[in-house]
Structure 1
């Protein structure tokens, strides 16, 4: 009987400690967001001229917002930069769109690279490799196709680039849009993901997401350049890991990355989140298996049980208060990520928040039971450690 009692108390202490740690992370993330995000960008000319930036834009297909998204990159408030558009297939409709923008903004240094170069299984790396080799500037910004850029965002990123910093990356967030999928997306990136992203940056943990990432070219060349990460689908994580191992630091920019896809849907976002969970499961399996303890409902249920075992508290009131405080904390963090009130009502936030919290554990189950990764028209199998193999490889470039 005594070993059983010790086991119960051991689990109860574990859940209670996890609960305390997560609430410390809530406080840290909210406090750090107030200090870090949406700081004023200094537009005054510097004493030392800013380094030039080569912007790599990998494209595949056209969505309703692509034209307006790309056009924001032609009007950046930055003295010296070039735009390097990358398209895998010469028949891709993005080719005509890029040509029209280059003709319209002929004063901007822009080039189009078609065909890619095979250096691994990662199609994004293959697509960008020719542009990487042709880039003229010492700083390289890798920017996903679905991003919209504020005119001062590049300036903000460069100003974060201290001498010992190799990568400045923007925290993933979203533009305002209509519909439940947009609400779900904004709550996930502005609250749930932002909490872990900001805490990781504050604590010096690798949280690099490469959708908008400014890199010192020399630092990345030290570890083999882009080609060195062609066999990883989560190239951003391993890229950051490699440069940090050589003594460089990472830093999150003040302005978040504004995702602005023209084809939002709940199913598409869940497929994307499930893909990320599969990547994490093979890169950091132990941490990923503990992820349910970072979610409101599983952690709250465990902590309520633990409180009843350790302190004789009533589980249901404890759980309800926990959920209410978590809900309010996420609202405040979302407002901080948004730099103001979100573009939807509190009722919409409540419905989106419930959906987000209920789906989170299911996405991890999907990652465990269906480990293959589908990315556009390709399918991959991951080895432990993160290397990928294409199950139905396309013809090589």
Structure 2
């Protein structure tokens, strides 16, 4: 009987300690977010010479905001940069938009690369490979098609590129939008995603998302360039790992990445979250055990049980207080990341937050039982370690 009691108390202590650690992450994310995000560029840095940047823009298809998003790259206040648009198919409708913008802003150095290479399974790497090889500047900015820039965003990112910093990336967030799906996206990226992202940056842990990232080109070239990461779907994680393993630092800039694709519905957003979960499980198998415990509703159950065993506290009382305080912390963090008035009411936040928190564990369980990856019109299979294989390759050697 005694070994069973010791085991019971051992599990209770583990869950209580894990619960306390999550509250520490909440506190770190809020304080670090307040310190790190939305800072003005110091005047001393603003007057210093800025490095030239080659911006790689992989494009596929047209979304409602593509024109306005791309135009923000032509109107940035940055002295030296080139725009390299990567379009896999000559018939892609984004080509016309790009050509019109190039004609509208003739003073901006811009080039178009049509036709993807075949250097790996990753379609994004295949699309960007030629542009990377022909880029002329020492720094590379990889920027997804749905990203919207402010006039000083690139300057803000470059100002964080210190001597031993190899990667400066933007923390994912979203532009304001209408409808429940837009609310859900902003809540997720401003709470669950931001909490882990800010805490990871504080502890110098690899949590790199490559939708908007400034990279030292020379370090990539030492590894063979972008093509060396073409065997992975999560190339951003492995690029960051390559830098960290060689002693380089990675950090986030003060401005979050403003995703503004214009295509926003609950089903596609959940499919996106499921795809990311599958990639994390393939790269870091321990995620299968620990990630569900980071969800509010899940850890609350275990915390309520642990405190009832260790301290004889009432389970339901602990669980309800846990949810309430978690909710308040998420509201505070989202307000910090937004840095302004939120585009929805507190009631809409409650509904969206509850939906996200209840749906999150279900999406993770579903992803764990289906390792296949669907990305646009492609299908992939994942192996342990993050290496992927395309089921039906689209680009032939």
Range with greater deviation from structure 2 (356-365 or 229-238): 356-365
Q: Give TM-score, length-normalised by structure 2.
A: 0.98
Secondary structure, counterpart of 2:304 in structure 1:
helix
In structure 1, what is the Cα distance between the partners aligned to 2:224 and 2:266? 38
Alignment of 1:377-396 (within 5 A): 377-396=377-396
Per the alignment, residue 372 of structure 1 pairs with 372
Per the alignment, residue 189 of structure 2 pairs with 189
Per the alignment, residue 52 of structure 2 pairs with 52
In structure 2, what is the Cα distance between the partners aligned to 1:283 and 1:227? 19
Post-superposition CA distance 1:119-168 (Å, at most 9, x none): 00100000000100110100110000001111110000000000000000
In structure 2, what is the Cα distance between the partners aligned to 1:220 and 1:359? 38
Structure 1 portions without partners, runs of 5+: none
Post-superposition CA distance 1:285-309 (Å, at most 9, x none): 1134211111100001100011101
1:220 aligns with 2:220: yes
**Kept after mapping to 2: 8 A contact 1:52/1:80:** yes
Deviation at 1:392, TM superposition (A): 1.2
Per the alignment, residue 356 of structure 2 pairs with 356
Secondary structure, counterpart of 1:371 in structure 2:
coil
C-alpha RMSD of matched pairs (Å): 1.1
In structure 1, what is the Cα distance between the partners aligned to 2:131 and 2:288? 34
Secondary structure, counterpart of 2:250 in structure 1:
strand
Deviation at 1:47, TM superposition (A): 5.7
**Kept after mapping to 1: 8 A contact 2:59/2:145:** yes
Deviation at 1:41, TM superposition (A): 2.1
Q: 1:263 to 1:367 in 2, by over 3 A?
A: same
**Kept after mapping to 2: 8 A contact 1:223/1:243:** no
Structure 2 portions without partners, runs of 5+: none
Q: 1:358 to 1:46 in 2, by over 3 A?
A: closer
In structure 2, what is the Cα distance between the partners aligned to 1:288 and 1:53? 38
1:347 aligns with 2:347: yes
1:164 aligns with 2:141: no
Secondary structure, counterpart of 1:210 in structure 2:
coil
1:106 aligns with 2:116: no
Q: 1:273 to 1:138 in 2, by over 3 A?
A: same
Post-superposition CA distance 1:219-268 (Å, at most 9, x none): 11122210000010000000000111111110110000000011100111
Per the alignment, residue 2 of structure 2 pairs with 2
Per the alignment, residue 203 of structure 2 pairs with 203
1:145 aligns with 2:132: no
**Kept after mapping to 1: 8 A contact 2:288/2:368:** no
Aligned length: 397
1:256 aligns with 2:256: yes
Per the alignment, residue 304 of structure 2 pairs with 304
Deviation at 1:10, TM superposition (A): 1.0
Poorly superposed stretches of 4+, deviation over 4 Å: 43-48
Alignment of 1:30-179 (within 5 A): 30-42=30-42, 48-179=48-179
Deviation at 1:54, TM superposition (A): 0.4
Q: 1:30 to 1:208 in 2, by over 3 A?
A: same
Deviation at 1:394, TM superposition (A): 1.6
**Kept after mapping to 1: 8 A contact 2:118/2:395:** no
**Kept after mapping to 1: 8 A contact 2:116/2:395:** no
Post-superposition CA distance 1:21-71 (Å, at most 9, x none): 000000000000000000012467756421100000000000110000000
In structure 2, what is the Cα distance between the partners aligned to 1:139 and 1:394? 30
Per the alignment, residue 12 of structure 2 pairs with 12
Per the alignment, residue 316 of structure 1 pairs with 316
Secondary structure, counterpart of 1:173 in structure 2:
strand
Q: Give TM-score, length-normalised by structure 1.
A: 0.98
Post-superposition CA distance 1:146-200 (Å, at most 9, x none): 0111111000000000000000000000000000000100010011100000000
